[in-house]
């Protein structure tokens, strides 16, 4: 029994969002500690002295219905599973099990419990959702999204960058990341949970989490609006900022993202075609009664003496410029070709400083900037008896 507790403790010690609050030697001690500690989840061995795991689980299910119990047993027969479920267990682990099996089981049990309790999130801070949008390709939208995300991550913020340009997403190549795992895997999953999303993330060395676009355009149709919204439901409690890079389209998928966004960073350049399309975009948003206060205009690739300036842009679009990013094509192109964010590679350059200033503005206006993980999800208190 001591060996099992030691193994479980070793498996979970490095899990940031799981905290072991107690260990018990038998069923009676488990019940006493549950009453005192009120953990979220109890790992219960089926064979324990004094009071066996099934009987202890029955008592917990009756007296502490909000506490979720997972039964552990060396017996894999269906009869043991059935008896565990009848006793009130929420899942069943067959020994020996791997660390991933254990963590996934805990995550899934906890997430199912939370799903039926939306009131727990009523006062919980949630991630700010920032969406980069443009009505024309080639305006530098992906470059801005990647560098803003990297800038926020470099200052210790918990950031998820989602490449929602599903047919021709460029986030992976912009950061020199192999697209081994993509959003397509989530579209195929039987259920989109936080654990499932986490299994399909790419971890960048700067601390940024990436959910990449499908590898091929033909796979884009697999990802529906409901998939995107379920992903957001799963991850908003555990990030400080979620950043979307979107394609230059206004379809059901883009509108689903935009409606859930706190800020829409609308990117334009001083090219006449970009200005024309941006003006049409703003009119379209207004016509569909979109919340125009969420839209922030980003002037990218600013260069002087091209016949149109920032003031002309603001006058023509009837919207102020939120941030201006200068044209530094050599730095931007070199960073792109090397698969590095210029805010990290060349932080003193004018183009990097403009992104860093944008990040400062966003962080300064965010009332939940110190959130990190939701208080509920940050500590999944765990007690186990064996």
Residue 280 and residue 135 in contact, taking contact as beta carbons nearer than 8 Å: yes
| Predicted pLDDT of residue 365 | 59
CB neighbours of residue 49 within 10 Å: 11
The span from the CA of 343 to the CA of 364, in Å, is 19
Task: Give me the pLDDT at residue 70, please.
Answer: 93
The CA R_g of the chain, rounded to the nearest whole Å, is 25
**CATH homologous superfamily for the domain 2-121+375-385:** Response regulator (3.40.50.2300)
What pLDDT is stored for residue 378 in this prediction? Answer: 37
Superfamily of domain 128-364: P-loop containing nucleotide triphosphate hydrolases (3.40.50.300)
Residue 165, classified by CB atoms within 10 Å of its CB into exposed (0-12), middle (13-18) or buried (19+), is: buried
Q: What is residue 77's three-state secondary structure?
A: coil
Burial of 55 (C-beta count, 10 Å sphere; 0-12/13-18/19+): middle
**At CA 131, angle to CA 308 and CA 202, rounded to 5?**
125
pLDDT at 237: 87
Cα–Cα distances (Å) from 348 to 121, 135, 368, in that order, read 40, 30, 28
| pLDDT at 91 (0 to 100) | 92
Q: Which two tokens stand for residue 344?
A: 């990290």
d(CA 87, CA 260): 41
Same CATH topology for 2-121+375-385 and 128-364: the answer is yes
Cβ-count burial 309-322 (b if 16+ within 10 Å, e if not) = eeeebeeebebebb
Quick one: which of 158, 62, 67, 70 has its CA closest to 108?
70
Tell me the three-class secondary structure of 132-167, residue by residue.
Answer: EECCCCCCCHHHHHHHHHHHHHHCCCCEEEEECCCC
Q: Parse the chain into domains and list their residue ranges.
A: 2-121+375-385, 128-364
What's the confidence (pLDDT) of residue 122?
A: 54
Q: Which of 223, 100, 194, 300 is nearest to 212 (CA)?
A: 223
State the pairing for strand pair 91-94/68-73.
Answer: parallel
- The whole-angstrom separation of Cα 320 and Cα 301 is 17
Low-confidence ranges of the chain (pLDDT < 70): 1-2, 16, 117-125, 365-386
């Amino acid at each position: 029994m001591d060996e099992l507790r030691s193994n479980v403790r070793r498996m979970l010690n490095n899990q940031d969002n799981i905290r072991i609050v107690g260990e018990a030697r038998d069923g009676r001690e488990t019940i006493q500690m549950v009453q005192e500690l009120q953990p979220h989840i109890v790992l219960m061995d089926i064979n324990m002295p004094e009071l066996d795991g099934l009987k202890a689980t029955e008592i917990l299910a009756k007296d502490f219905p909000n506490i979720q119990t997972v039964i552990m047993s060396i017996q894999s027969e269906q009869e043991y599973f059935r008896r565990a479920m009848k006793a009130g267990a929420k899942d069943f682990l067959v020994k020996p099990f791997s660390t991933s099996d254990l963590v996934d089981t805990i995550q899934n049990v906890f997430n199912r419990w939370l799903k039926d309790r939306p009131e727990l999130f009523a006062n919980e801070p949630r991630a700010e959702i920032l969406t980069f949008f443009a009505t024309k390709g080639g305006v530098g939208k992906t470059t801005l999204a990647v560098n803003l995300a990297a800038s926020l991550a470099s200052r210790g913020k918990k950031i998820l960058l989602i490449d929602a340009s599903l047919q021709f997403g460029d986030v992976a190549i912009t950061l020199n990341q192999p697209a081994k795992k993509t959003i397509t895997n989530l579209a195929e999953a039987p259920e989109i949970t936080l654990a499932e999303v986490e299994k399909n993330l790419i971890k960048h060395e700067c601390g940024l989490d990436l959910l990449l676009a499908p590898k091929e355009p033909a796979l884009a149709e697999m990802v529906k609006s409901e998939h995107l919204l379920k992903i957001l439901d799963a991850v908003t409690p555990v990030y400080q900022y979620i950043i979307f890079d979107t394609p230059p389209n206004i379809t059901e998928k883009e509108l689903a993202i935009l409606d859930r966004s706190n800020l829409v960073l609308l990117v334009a350049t001083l090219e006449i075609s970009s200005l024309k399309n941006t003006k049409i975009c703003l009119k379209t948003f207004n016509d569909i009664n979109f919340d125009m206060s969420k839209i922030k205009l980003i002037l990218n690739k600013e260069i002087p003496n091209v016949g149109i300036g920032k003031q002309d842009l603001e006058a023509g679009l009837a919207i102020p410029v939120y941030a201006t990013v200068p044209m530094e094509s050599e730095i931007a192109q070199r960073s792109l070709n090397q698969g590095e964010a210029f805010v990290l590679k060349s932080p003193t350059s004018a183009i990097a400083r403009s992104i860093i200033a944008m990040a400062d503005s966003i962080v300064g206006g965010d009332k939940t900037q110190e959130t990190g993980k939701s208080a509920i999800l940050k500590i999944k208190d765990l007690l186990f008896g064996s």
